[in-house]
Amino acid sequence: MKLKYKIPIALRIAKAKIFHKKIPVLISWAATYRCNQRCLYCKMPSLVSDELSSEQVKMMIDKLNKLGAKVLNITGGEALLRGDIFDLIEYFKAKGIYVCLNSNGILVPENINRLKILDLLNLSIEGPREVHDSIRGPGAYQTVIKAAQAALQSKIKVNFTATINKHNIIHLDYIIGLARELKLAVRFEILEEYMLGSKSKNSLEISPAQVQKALAEIIWAKNQAKYRKTIINSLGLLTYLQSWPELKYLQCASGNIIFRVTPQGIMFVCAKATYENTQRTNYSIDLINDSTAQIKAKLASWAYPDRECSCACSSRQAVNLVWNLKF
What pTM, to 2 d.p., does this model score? 0.93
CATH superfamily label, 3-323: Aldolase class I (3.20.20.70)
CA-closest candidate to residue 188, choices 148, 244, 272: 244
Range from 194-208, 242-256, 310-324 carrying the lowest mean pLDDT: 194-208
Q: For 60-129, where are the E strands, in sequence order?
A: 71-75, 98-103, 120-124
At what angle are helices 172-182 and 140-153 packed, to 10 degrees? 30
Which H or E run contains 315? helix 314-323
Mean pLDDT throughout 20-31? 95
Looking at the predicted structure, is the pLDDT value of residue 284 above 80? yes
259 burial type by CB count under 10 A (0-12 exposed, 13-18 middle, 19+ buried): buried
By the 8 A CB rule, do 44 and 35 touch? Answer: yes
Taking the C-alpha atoms of residue 188 and residue 87, their distance in angstroms, rounded to an integer, is 30
Looking at the predicted structure, is the pLDDT value of residue 120 above 90? yes
230-280, pLDDT tens digit by residue?
999 999 999 999 888 888 888 889 889 999 999 999 999 877 777 665 555
